[in-house]
Amino acid sequence: DAIWAYAESVGVSDEMLRLAFLKFKDRYLDGKKRYTDWRKTFRIAVEDNWLKLWAHDQAGQCYLTTQGRQAENTYREDA
């Protein structure tokens, strides 16, 4: 799937992608937004980092931002 390939190519870990999915689901799947293709919407959200869960340091390593750490704490019990 394109989302996994993209995440791997930019250093977004599986755990970060999982956090993004959980946060995306909570934020956007409340019935208020109506997208035709939710898979595509999630892919775009990851590619554009809509949720600001990660960033890259000077060496290009991906790390969780403050928002990412908060999401990690929120969803820790969902693991």
| Per-residue pLDDT at 74 exceeds 80 | yes
Q: Under 8 Å CB-to-CB from 16, ≥6 apart: which residues?
A: 7, 53, 54, 62, 64, 68
Name which of 14, 16, 11, 8 is nearest 52 in CA terms.
16
Name which of 18, 17, 20 is nearest 6 in CA terms.
17
| Per-residue pLDDT at 66 exceeds 80 | yes
Predicted local confidence at residue 1, as pLDDT: 78
Residue bearing the bigger pLDDT, 78 or 40? 40
pLDDT tens for 2-49 read: 899 999 999 999 999 999 999 999 988 877 777 889 899 999 999 999
